[in-house]
Each structure stands twice: as C-alpha cells, then as structure tokens.
Structure 1
Amino acid sequence: MAKPANPDNAQIETRIVWQRLRLLTFYRLILAGLLAVLYFALQDSNPFGVQDHGLFRFTLLAWLVFSLAAGTATRLERPGFRFQAMVQLFTDIGALSLLIHATGGVSSPLTALLVITIAVGALLLPGRMAYLFAAVASIALLLETGVSLLELENTSISSVTRAGLMGLVLFATAALAHVLAIRLRESEALATQRGIDLANLQQLNQYVIHQLQSGILVVDPDGVVRLANDRARALLNLNTAEGQPLGKLSPALAEQIERWHDNPALQPESIQAGASGADLTPRFARLETSQGSGTLVLLDDDTLLAQQSQQLKLASLGRMSASIAHEIRNPLGAISHAAQLLSESGSLNGGDKRLTEIINNHSRRVNEIIESILQLSRRSVSQPQELRLGEWLRLFHGEFIETEGADAARLVLDIGDDELSIECDPGHLRQVLSNLSKNALRHSPEQATVELRATGNHAGRVRIEILDNGPGIDREVATQIFEPFFTTENSGTGLGLYIARELCEQNRAHLSYHRRSEAGGSCFRIEFSASNG
C-alpha cells in the first residue's frame, strides 16, 4: 500500500486499521461466547458432534479468555497493531484447528470458520501475510487429519483429500480477500482524500466569507440566523448572531426581509446599524432548503459605497482636469505673456496700463484655479497609517511654523490625551490641517490666537478642531463653503475647503463647520469614525 501523502492521511489510516482489529476482537468474543453457550446449554444433544469433550471445553474456554484479553489490548493499542493482528489470527487458527479436531476432523461444520478467519486476515494484513495465514491453516488441517489417522479414529483416506481441497479453498479465499483488500484500501484512500479536500474547501469558503468586505447573514425559513461573518457582526454591532432570531438582532432588517419575500421586486431601504450609527444597504437572495426558503443577506456600508463613488468622481475630475490643462493652460500662458509685453510698452497711457494689470491679475487667478484642479486630480489614493495623534500634531506644529513663517505664539496646541490614535494618511491630514490653519490665521485679528485641539469621546470617536476668533461665516454662506469653486474672496479659487473635505472623506473622516458663538469665531471640526479611533 502506498504511503500516505501527509500526516492527516496517516492518522486516519491508523485509526481505520485499529477499528478493524477491534471489530475482529468483538467478532471473536461473540463467536466464542456463542459456542460456549450452545455447547454447555445443549450438552445432552451435542449440537457440534463433539468427540473429545475435554479438549473441546479446554480449547473453548481458553479461546474465550484470550478473546477478552485481546479486546483489552486492542482498546489500549498496546502492543503495536501488526504484532497484535498476527498473534490474534494465529491463535484463532490454532484454536479452531483444535476445535475441529475435537468435533470429528475436517468434516466438522466448524471448518467453515477457518475460511472466515483467513478472509479477515487478508483484509487486516494484505499481501504475503494473507497467503501465510492460508498456508498455516492448511498445514493445521493436514496435521489434524494425520493425527486422526494415527489415532485410528473414524477417519478414512478421503479425509486427506478433503483436507487438501479445503487448503485450496483457503488459498483461494486468501487471494480473493487480498484483491478485495487492495480495492478497499484504494477506495478508503480516495474517500479520505475527498474528505480532506472537502474539509479544506469548507475552510477556504469560511475564510473567504469572513474576509469579505460585505456583511453576510444566512437566515433560515424560521428567521433564525445560521451564519454571520465577522463583517456582519461588526456592522450590526453584535458579539454573537448564530442561532438567534433576526427579529431580535435587527428588527428593521427582519421586517425588510418579510416584505421582500412578499414582493421580490421591492427595493430594499437603508437601515441604521446599532451603536455605530452607520447606514447599511441590504441586498437579499433566496436560498432554497429542504425546510423551506431561507435568505442570504448582503450588508454594505454606505460610507464605503460613498467612498467608491467619490473615487469614481475624482477619477472623472482627473480626466477633466488633464483636458483643462491641455486646452486652457497654453492659451492662458500666451495671453499672460502678451499682457506683460504690452505693459512694458512706453506708449501706453494710465488707463491702458490698468487694463493690462487686470489681464495679468485674472490670468494668475485662472492659473491658480488650474493648479488647484491639477492638485486634486494628482492626489494619491489614501494610504492610512495608525498615528499617535499627540506626537504627530506636535511635529506638524513645528513644521507649519517653520515652513509658513508663522508666529508660534499664535498657533496654540491643545491635546487632551496623548493616548489618542487614528488611522489616516499622514500626507492627506497634513494638507488639510495646513489649509485650515492658514485660513484661520488669515481671518483672525492680528494678535489673536488660533487653537488646534484634539479630543476623544466615550464613543471612541476622535476630533481635531481648528478654532479662531475671526468674524465667522454667515449661516447662509456656511452651507456652501464646501462646494467646489465657491468663494467669498475676489482672489480665491474656491477649491481649498472642497479639497480638504474630499481628503477627509477619503480617510473615513468628516469635515464640518461650526460657528463658535453669535459674536463670531469659527470652528472647523474633523471627526474620525469609531473604527479609526
């Protein structure tokens, strides 16, 4: 037999052969016990035709004791399998030969039990050992016949012929059992491999299901959750879900499933998840089972869907910006250059020079708009890292003061907890905070301070706030400041706050504006979700 391909196969094969040996000991114990019961209970009628009662009783009782001992050894698996199998089979051949001799020789009905023993031996120890058992049994029969002839019992010369024929039957049995054993082992090896493959496939399926970005729930016809992957438990804020009614875990989702079963064309509505507050979009598919129609539920986080939509929008904006750069920048450069040459002419009067200044100023402004759009289109995909917020903000503060030439006393840090951490792209966060800090310093009174504050709350959310003491933004205007190209300044591009919010959304954070008081003052707040904090 081929060597098992891996340790798992070897363990399974070992377990199978020991189970077979235990079946043999059980068969032997039942057979010896049954023979003993019939012999002693029906001793007057002598059902087996016993001629030597002393030998029959001694052999039968000794074989019964051996059966008990063999069963114990097989259960303990000590000593090894091969040794135990050989000892038990040779003992069976010897015991049956003595019983056959005590019951009239080769013509005894117990001779058929030798055929069973040889067949079992060929299944347990196939190959040459099967023919060894047949040879030993044949020799035992011939010896028994010879002894009977020498003892001048009721044995004729034809008994030798019967013993020889029985030997041929035993060898034929060994050969047939050997072939069957080979086929059986091949089938078992194939079944074992199929079982391992199925187990591996199931494990792979479980891994794939649990690693999916979408939440997955399998709900049976009774509305009980049978499977929930890690993502589904996280979205619904559940510790365990399997075996519990969906109506208890998420009544809104259970209600939608009922409506969907009544009307499969119904479009599912977004639901709000547990404590996280995230909006989830469910999708349903019918699962037909023997118990009825179950439901496969896919849950998608609307935040992620919005991010994907945003990435598509940014990709379209990038293509548009490249077209703008190609179609507008070159003519704009020509206009600007011509205006500069015209302004250097000595024949221009004051009014004409003013017109050339206007051309130059607006050319620069259009160029700044193009640069902002190109900056937006070239922005890299977010690569979030875990940032220790206190340490990172101190580094940002020093870099900002140095690069912008700002007064360090005007930009004040307030870090509530040095243990605060977020997951964010540091380059994106640096760009957002630089833009907001410059805006706050520009719109604050000359000696007023701007506060950069980091706080956390009980829900695990982290906030970064930029607070100034400027005049603030009117409520009517505040609703439009994050729209692209919206600006209240003649020299602005209207893309700074739009880019800042886009960068925050790309990092699963939210940028919002809040007026500090009726008297004035602005607060730009970046709030990171609980999963990031």
Structure 2
Amino acid sequence: MTPASPAAHLAESDPLALARVWYGFMTARVTIALAILVWHGALLALGQTVSPWMLLFCSGYLASALALRLTGRPSHSHSGHPSKRFWMGTVGVDALVFSTLQLMQSGGSINYSPLLGLPVLLAAVLGRRAIALGTAAGMTLLLLLLDIWKLYTHRAGDEAALFMQSGMTGMGYFVAAFLVNQLAVRLEREEQLALHSQQDAQLQTRVNELVIETLTDGVLVVDASGSARAANPAARLLLGTDSRTGKAPLQLDSQPGWLALLALAQKTFAEESTQQADIRIQHTGRSPRRVRVRTRMTAAEEGQADSLCVMFLHDLREMEARLRTEKMAAMGRMSAAVAHEIRNPLAAITQANALLEEDLTDPAQQRLTTMVRHNAQRLAKIVDEVLEIARVPVRSGHGSAPLQIKLDEAVDTVCRDWSQQDPTRRKVQVSLGTLGLPVDFDPDHLRRVLVNLLDNALRYESGQVGAIQVDTRLLPDRQSSLLVWSDGPPMEQAVEQHLFEPFFSSESRSSGLGLYICRELCERHRASIAYQRATRERGGLAVQGNAFMVQFRPPKPSTLVARSFDIQPV
C-alpha cells in the first residue's frame, strides 16, 4: 500500500490542524502575489518601463490566489491524499506563473526562479514523498528549460555556470523536499501521539470527575492555608454549604463548625501522616452532623511548593443506620416473638389481679394488688412499644401522596392536651413561627414524638416558669423545624452517644425505647431528630438546657396549602 501523506494523517486525527497548514500556505501564496504586484506597480510609479500585460498577469495571479484562499477548502480524495485538482490549482499554477514571470521580465533585473521553491515546500508538507520528489524534479526541469530559453534568446553569458547554478538549485529542491517531508511526517506522528495522550488524559479526567461527583462519601481537597481547592456535592452537603455554589473555594476558617476540619488538616500537614477522627459539624440553628474524617497527603511534584491534603468525609448517621438495621434485623424477630409470648400470661395476671382485688378488703393486701396492677401496666406498655418498633410501618390512606399537617396547629393542640392532663406540673411555653406552612408527617406519629419529648423534658426540668419551651420556626432554607427545650442538667458524654439507641436508658424504670421510637418515626417521614446543648432566654436571662430539634422535609410546591401571605425566614 502507498504510504499516506502527512496531510492525510492530519485530516484523520485533527481536521483543524490540516486546515491551519492549508490556510498557511494559501496565505503565503496571496502574500507573494501581492508583493509581486506591488513591486511592479512601484517600478511603474518610478518611471521604469513595465508591460501592461505584466501588471495584468500579476493581478490575475493575485485574484486566483485570493479566491482560493477565501473560497477554497482543504479537500482529499477517497484514498486519503490531496486531490489532483488541488495540485493543479496550487503547484501547477505557481509553476506556470513563476516561470512565465521569469520569461516576461525584461533586463534580467529580477530573478523569479527562487519562488519555485514554494510549490516544492507545499508538496513536501501536504503530499506523499513521491509527490514531493516529483515536484522537485519538475521544478528542476523547469529551471533547465528556462536556462535553455535564455541561451536561445542570447541573453545568457557563461553556459556552464548557468547550468551549474540550475543544477545546484535543483539539488537543493530535492534535499529540501526530502527533509521537509521527513520532518512533516515526524511532526505529524508526534502530534498524533500527543493527541492520543491528551484524549486518554481527558477521558481519565472525566471518569475521575464522574466517580468523585457520584460518591456518597465527601471528598475535600485542602491546601496548607485552609482553603478547599475542590469539594464534591457530598462534601458540600456534609459541610452544610449550598451545593449550587459549584466549584467556588471554601475557607475552613470562615465557619465555626468547620474549625475541627481545619485543625485536622493542619495536623496532617504538621505530622505529614494520615489522620482519622470523628468530628461534629455544628451550625447555628441546624442539627449537628457527626462525620468520620480520614486524611491523606498528596506527594509534592516538581515545581509545586506545597502538598495537598485530601479529606474523605463519611456521615456517621448512615453508618449507624446500617448498624441499627443489622442489629434490629436480628433482634426484631426475637423481640416480637418474646413480646407475643409475654402478652398472653400478662393478660391472665392482670385479669386475675383484678378479680382478686374485688374480693380483698384488707388495705395492706389492696396495696399489694395495686402494685401488681401498676407493674403489669408497665409491662404491657413495654410489650406494646416492642411490638410497635417491630411492626412494618403502613402509611394510612390509599393514595401515594404523603400526609400533610399544619405544624403550628398540630403542635399547639398536642401541647394543650398534654398540659391539661396535669396542669399543676405540666407547664409548657409555646412559640409558633411557621406561619401555617404544612409539613409531610402523620398527625398521630407527630403526637407520639412530641409527647415523648415532653415527657423526657418533664422528667429533668427544674419546675420554674419557662422550664419547658416548645418552638416551631422556619430555617433560612424554608425548612420547618420543631424544638423542645428544657432547663435540665447536661447529659453525660456516655449517655449522649447512645441517646437514640433502643433499650438504652439512664433510669432503671425506663424501657429505653422512647427516643428510639421518635427517631424511627421521624425517619419514616424523611425528617431528622437531633440533640444539642442550647441556650434559651428565660425571664430575661440566658439559661443552658437540653434541646431536641426535629427538622421536617419541606413539602413539594404543588402540594402546598393555598395561602395569601408571604413566608419570611425566621
């Protein structure tokens, strides 16, 4: 098979590169044609004799070169080589024009034969080696014919010197054609390798970006100054920043909740080793996020003064949720079976105790039956709670649309009902601030969550006015939240870590299922519940207390209740 030309390879690998080479040569032809026309025009302006046919011929060459430059396109035949029409319109026209100018010029003051090197270069760069050498041979033969014409018209001096000069020029054409063609082939091969390498690098970069963007774990790249060079959407979500900000840089020292991340990054740079820690990202008015962070340092390359710290962020809530799922999957079946087995004898004990209580008149014996009844009721409540957490949740209603309630009205109703059960002890201060915005939550489930939180608050509150406070408010992102606060003492660290785990309680008479059920009910409705130590105003003083915050999923705009007011963030 005939070896392809450099232009053919350029056309396959990079059509734009072929176009640049082609337009470069066409621009050179236009420049040379314009220079020749201007030269003859200047000679005419200086008073020298210039044939009108010479000016007309030069103008025609300029028009031809300009038309090809403006309207022509780099074209190839089906074999991948420049077409015959291309060679005739460029190499053929240039050879004809330059040789004609050499014949038409008078006095021998101008030598146009060096311009015959342009067709040789054009063929060497855009054509095959055979075409390049053939063009060099044709230009050499044309030089010899011009010399013969000079001898025939008796305008030449030394014949040997004249033929020697043409032979040396022709030899230079051959050498230039061969070397330029070899150089063009080599450059084209290097360009193909560079292009393939660039394509592979771009493909690898796109794959890496796709993998990093779709990772559920956060990836954060931090420099020594604490500036985040890059962060994927998962990392921005864990950091609590707006994911729509794209690739805008983040300064870890700009938010108090990120200072722990900054300290871990600085420790990584100082010790130049991998670090791992569980930190808490806390923002004002939001639930804290517990994140497990692993750091790695990149190797410093030549020309780079500093290394980078890559931080991998994993949400501990997901890890704990998986552990809870595995734990409850094993414990749920056993708990449900045990609860069913306990329910039947417990009902018999309760019934027998009630029958026995009817026949007893001794106060001491009646106290014993009362004790049995209270403990039986306690056991019945524990059995009901165990069966509740083991039962598969079923959404009420036949439609797929989620249940919606107006948070302010529901919270106000539950708080009033809860207070009326014991008005002397159950005093709660309620503040409603969601302006009637609905939330996706089952009303019975919300009642159970709020009652459990109020019961916990009542257990540890001080009994003063404003010791228990319930607030509903809108967060800056128009997300509704519910806050239950009490002025109880701070929890121990060991208790706080296992606060929402099942069967864990700091009191011996508690089943340890209340807060666990609250979290399960919130997760069923894609809400979240969290605990934090918070400061509230009571009687004009700032008082520390325990706060449980529930953040609800905002309803879809199409399901919002029609209202004629503007909702302002609180």
TM over 0.5: yes
| 1:285 is aligned to 2:303 | no
**Kept after mapping to 2: 8 A contact 1:329/1:367:** yes
Equivalent of residue 208 in structure 2, options 205, 208, 215:
205
Alignment correspondent of 1:500: 518
Once the two structures are TM-superposed, the CA of residue 305 in structure 1 deviates from its matched residue by 1.5
**Kept after mapping to 1: 8 A contact 2:480/2:554:** no
**CA separation of 1:19 and 1:322: change in aligned 2, threshold 3 A:** same
- TM-score normalised by structure 1 residue count: 0.56
CA distance in 1, matches of 2:92, 2:13: 27
Once the two structures are TM-superposed, the CA of residue 214 in structure 1 deviates from its matched residue by 0.8
CA distance in 2, matches of 1:487, 1:206: 47
Equivalent of residue 321 in structure 2, options 310, 320, 330:
310
CA distance in 2, matches of 1:133, 1:97: 14
| 1:219 is aligned to 2:231 | no
Once the two structures are TM-superposed, the CA of residue 393 in structure 1 deviates from its matched residue by 0.9
Letter in 2 for 1:500: C
CA distance in 2, matches of 1:19, 1:341: 99
Letter in 1 for 2:404: W
What does residue range 510-529 of structure 1 map to in structure 2 within 5 Å?
Answer: 510=530, 526-528=549-551
1:155-191 alpha-carbon deviations (Å, 9 max, x no partner): 9799999999999997998799778766765654454
What does residue range 255-294 of structure 1 map to in structure 2 within 5 Å?
Answer: 256-264=264-272, 270=279, 272=281, 278=288, 281=293, 283-290=295-302, 291-294=304-307
Equivalent of residue 374 in structure 1, options 390, 403, 408:
390
CA distance in 2, matches of 1:152, 1:163: 17
**Kept after mapping to 2: 8 A contact 1:217/1:229:** no
Letter in 1 for 2:14: E
Alignment correspondent of 1:97: 99
Once the two structures are TM-superposed, the CA of residue 85 in structure 1 deviates from its matched residue by 7.7
Letter in 2 for 1:509: I
**Kept after mapping to 1: 8 A contact 2:136/2:177:** yes
What does residue range 148-159 of structure 1 map to in structure 2 within 5 Å?
Answer: 148=150, 150-151=152-153
Equivalent of residue 509 in structure 1, options 529, 544, 549:
529
**CA separation of 1:166 and 1:241: change in aligned 2, threshold 3 A:** closer
Alignment correspondent of 2:560: none
Once the two structures are TM-superposed, the CA of residue 315 in structure 1 deviates from its matched residue by 1.9
> What are structure 1's unaligned runs of at least 5 residues?
40-52, 344-348, 381-385, 444-451
Q: In terms of mean alpha carbon deviation, does 131-140 or 259-268 score higher? A: 131-140
1:219-274 alpha-carbon deviations (Å, 9 max, x no partner): 26x66554344555562648587678766677765555444322346957747566
Once the two structures are TM-superposed, the CA of residue 194 in structure 1 deviates from its matched residue by 3.4
**Kept after mapping to 2: 8 A contact 1:138/1:164:** yes
CA distance in 2, matches of 1:229, 1:35: 62
What does residue range 127-138 of structure 1 map to in structure 2 within 5 Å?
Answer: 137=139
Q: Secondary structure at the match of 2:71?
A: coil
**Kept after mapping to 1: 8 A contact 2:531/2:547:** yes
Alignment correspondent of 1:124: 126
**Kept after mapping to 2: 8 A contact 1:510/1:527:** yes
Once the two structures are TM-superposed, the CA of residue 392 in structure 1 deviates from its matched residue by 1.1
CA distance in 2, matches of 1:416, 1:246: 32
CA distance in 2, matches of 1:153, 1:133: 27
Letter in 2 for 1:199: Q
CA distance in 2, matches of 1:123, 1:79: 18
**CA separation of 1:416 and 1:274: change in aligned 2, threshold 3 A:** closer
**Kept after mapping to 1: 8 A contact 2:222/2:229:** yes
Once the two structures are TM-superposed, the CA of residue 309 in structure 1 deviates from its matched residue by 1.7
**Kept after mapping to 1: 8 A contact 2:346/2:376:** yes
**Kept after mapping to 2: 8 A contact 1:145/1:160:** yes
| Matched pairs, number | 463
| 1:319 is aligned to 2:330 | yes
CA distance in 1, matches of 2:452, 2:265: 50
| 1:393 is aligned to 2:405 | yes
**Kept after mapping to 2: 8 A contact 1:219/1:295:** yes
**CA separation of 1:265 and 1:190: change in aligned 2, threshold 3 A:** closer
Alignment correspondent of 1:47: none
CA distance in 2, matches of 1:457, 1:247: 23
Alignment correspondent of 1:20: 21
Once the two structures are TM-superposed, the CA of residue 458 in structure 1 deviates from its matched residue by 4.7
Q: Percent identity?
A: 18
What does residue range 183-194 of structure 1 map to in structure 2 within 5 Å?
Answer: 185=188, 188-194=191-197
CA distance in 1, matches of 2:263, 2:210: 29
Q: Secondary structure at the match of 1:195?
A: helix
**CA separation of 1:129 and 1:503: change in aligned 2, threshold 3 A:** farther
Once the two structures are TM-superposed, the CA of residue 199 in structure 1 deviates from its matched residue by 2.6
**Kept after mapping to 1: 8 A contact 2:140/2:167:** yes
Letter in 2 for 1:78: T
Q: Secondary structure at the match of 2:550?
A: strand
Q: Secondary structure at the match of 1:393?
A: strand
Once the two structures are TM-superposed, the CA of residue 463 in structure 1 deviates from its matched residue by 2.1
CA distance in 2, matches of 1:179, 1:440: 84
**Kept after mapping to 1: 8 A contact 2:343/2:380:** no
**Kept after mapping to 2: 8 A contact 1:217/1:226:** yes
RMSD, matched Cα: 7.0
Alignment correspondent of 1:195: 198
**Kept after mapping to 1: 8 A contact 2:406/2:436:** no
Q: Secondary structure at the match of 1:294?
A: coil
Letter in 1 for 2:327: S
Q: In terms of mean alpha carbon deviation, does 20-29 or 307-316 score higher? A: 20-29
1:71-103 alpha-carbon deviations (Å, 9 max, x no partner): 8974xx534345888644334323443466689
**Kept after mapping to 2: 8 A contact 1:368/1:493:** no
What does residue range 64-463 of structure 1 map to in structure 2 within 5 Å?
Answer: 70=65, 74=69, 77-82=70-75, 87-98=89-100, 114=116, 117-125=119-127, 137=139, 140-141=142-143, 144=146, 147-148=149-150, 150-151=152-153, 185=188, 188-212=191-215, 213-219=217-223, 225-232=228-235, 235=239, 237=241, 253-254=261-262, 256-264=264-272, 270=279, 272=281, 278=288, 281=293, 283-290=295-302, 291-298=304-311, 300=313, 304-325=315-336, 328=338, 367-368=383-384, 370-375=386-391, 392-393=404-405, 420=437, 432-433=445-446, 435-436=448-449, 455-458=473-476, 460-463=478-481
**CA separation of 1:507 and 1:335: change in aligned 2, threshold 3 A:** same
CA distance in 1, matches of 2:249, 2:532: 42
Alignment correspondent of 1:42: none
Once the two structures are TM-superposed, the CA of residue 310 in structure 1 deviates from its matched residue by 3.4
What does residue range 45-64 of structure 1 map to in structure 2 within 5 Å?
Answer: none
CA distance in 1, matches of 2:382, 2:272: 53
CA distance in 2, matches of 1:296, 1:435: 46
> What are structure 2's unaligned runs of at least 5 residues?
41-47, 76-84, 354-358, 395-399, 422-430, 457-469, 540-545, 556-568
1:479-529 alpha-carbon deviations (Å, 9 max, x no partner): 999674469999x965244211244367433379999999xxxx9965317
